Amino acid sequence: MIPGGGQPNMQQLLQQAQKMQQDLAAAQEELARTEVEGQAGGGLVKATVTGSGELRALVIDPKAVDPEDTETLADLVVAAVQAANENAQALQQEKLGPLAQGLGGGGGIPGLPF
């Protein structure tokens, strides 16, 4: 039974919502600082992105560079960046998923990728 004749305590609800928003903002800041890696070609190409998906670094092993076949190198770069972004999305789900559900269910928050 809720004290006060069944009416929710609006002040308490507002405080809970504000704390959830602060937790979400803190998690988003942590994602922006956290770096994750993806690779392709058995490690010939490695891409590093932030948890929010910003490309930070790209390392290409000289063995992957063939002037006669730049198409394969381009494919490896794309694959490494995609792998890194998939890892970043998994990290986003891990860090933000529980917070998003607490704010009304995942998928309903504008500006978030899930």
Q: Is residue 10 part of a domain?
A: no
Q: What is this structure's pTM?
A: 0.67
Q: Which residues of the chain have pLDDT under 70?
A: 1-8, 99-114
| pLDDT at res. 114 | 45
Q: Is residue 11 part of a domain?
A: no
The number of folded domains in the chain is 1
- Alpha carbon distance 49, 47 (integer Å): 7
| pLDDT at res. 20 | 85
Q: Is residue 6 part of a domain?
A: no
Residue 40, domain extent? 31-99
| pLDDT at res. 102 | 58
Cβ atoms of 50 and 32 within 8 Å: the answer is yes
Q: Is residue 19 part of a domain?
A: no
Cβ atoms of 85 and 49 within 8 Å: the answer is yes
CATH value at residue 70: 3.30.1310.10
Q: Is residue 91 part of a domain?
A: yes
| pLDDT at res. 39 | 96
